């Protein structure tokens, strides 16, 4: 049976994968194919690597966080790492990006950033933020565990519309 979400693909290709993480998509490279996802819960498509140019992989590496040989490791003690506090502002589900939530905690990925709004943000009126290229395995384990809402599929229909498929000039 074909895996249906990112976690199942990671479990299938453990120790032989590279995961590219953008604010509005995930791409798992299993060495022969690229598996694209709008978010961890929503599979998009698979492309054979022999059917793409090398610049696509190079662009993915430039534009995305890159995690190699990802494994699913549960760690209930994980805490956000390497975030900066930013002033709170109104956050809504982005047009291109993802909105994750669990028990009142919310994570947004948009504009090449990951932003955490937890249950206690109102105490000091701040959120936590970092560049999407700094997305790490602890962040991945967190978003795999959250529910997710995305509107990206409304705007971007084909993976070939992603900037990683644009040939450098």
Residue 125 is predicted with a pLDDT of 81
Q: Which domain holds residue 108?
A: 84-150
The answer to whether residues 143 and 92 belong to one domain is yes
pTM: 0.89
| Residue 44 forms part of a structural domain | yes
User: How many domains in the chain?
Assistant: 2
Average pLDDT, the chain: 89
The answer to whether residues 110 and 161 belong to one domain is no
3-state secondary structure of 74: coil
Residue 126 is predicted with a pLDDT of 86
For 105-117, how does the pLDDT look when each residue is reduced to its tens digit (9 = 90+)? Answer: 889 999 999 998 8
| Residue 16 forms part of a structural domain | yes
The answer to whether residues 97 and 121 belong to one domain is yes
| Residue 79 forms part of a structural domain | no
For 1-46, how does the pLDDT look when each residue is reduced to its tens digit (9 = 90+)? Answer: 667 899 999 999 988 899 999 999 999 999 999 999 999 999 999 9
Radius of gyration of the chain (CA): 16
The answer to whether residues 116 and 100 belong to one domain is yes
User: DSSP E strands: which ranges in the chain?
Assistant: 18-21, 26-29, 33-39, 42-48, 65-68, 84-87, 98-102, 105-110, 113-117, 126-131, 147-150
Report which listed range, 35-44, 100-109, 137-146, is most confident: 35-44
């Amino acid at each position: 049976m074909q895996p249906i979400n990112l976690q199942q693909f990671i479990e299938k290709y453990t120790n032989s994968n590279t995961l590219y993480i953008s604010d509005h998509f995930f791409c798992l490279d299993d060495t022969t194919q690229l598996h694209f996802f709008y978010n961890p819960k929503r599979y998009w498509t698979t492309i054979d690597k022999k059917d793409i140019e090398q610049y696509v992989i190079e662009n993915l590496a430039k534009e995305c966080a890159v995690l190699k040989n990802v494994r699913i490791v549960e760690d209930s003690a994980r805490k956000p790492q390497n975030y900066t506090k930013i002033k709170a502002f109104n956050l809504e589900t982005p047009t291109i990006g993802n909105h994750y939530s669990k028990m009142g905690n919310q994570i947004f990925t948009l504009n090449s950033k990951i932003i955490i709004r937890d249950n206690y943000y109102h105490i000091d009126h701040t959120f936590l933020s970092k560049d999407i290229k700094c997305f790490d395995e602890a962040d991945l384990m967190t978003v795999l565990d959250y529910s997710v809402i995305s509107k990206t599929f409304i705007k971007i229909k084909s993976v070939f519309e992603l900037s990683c498929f644009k040939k450098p000039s």
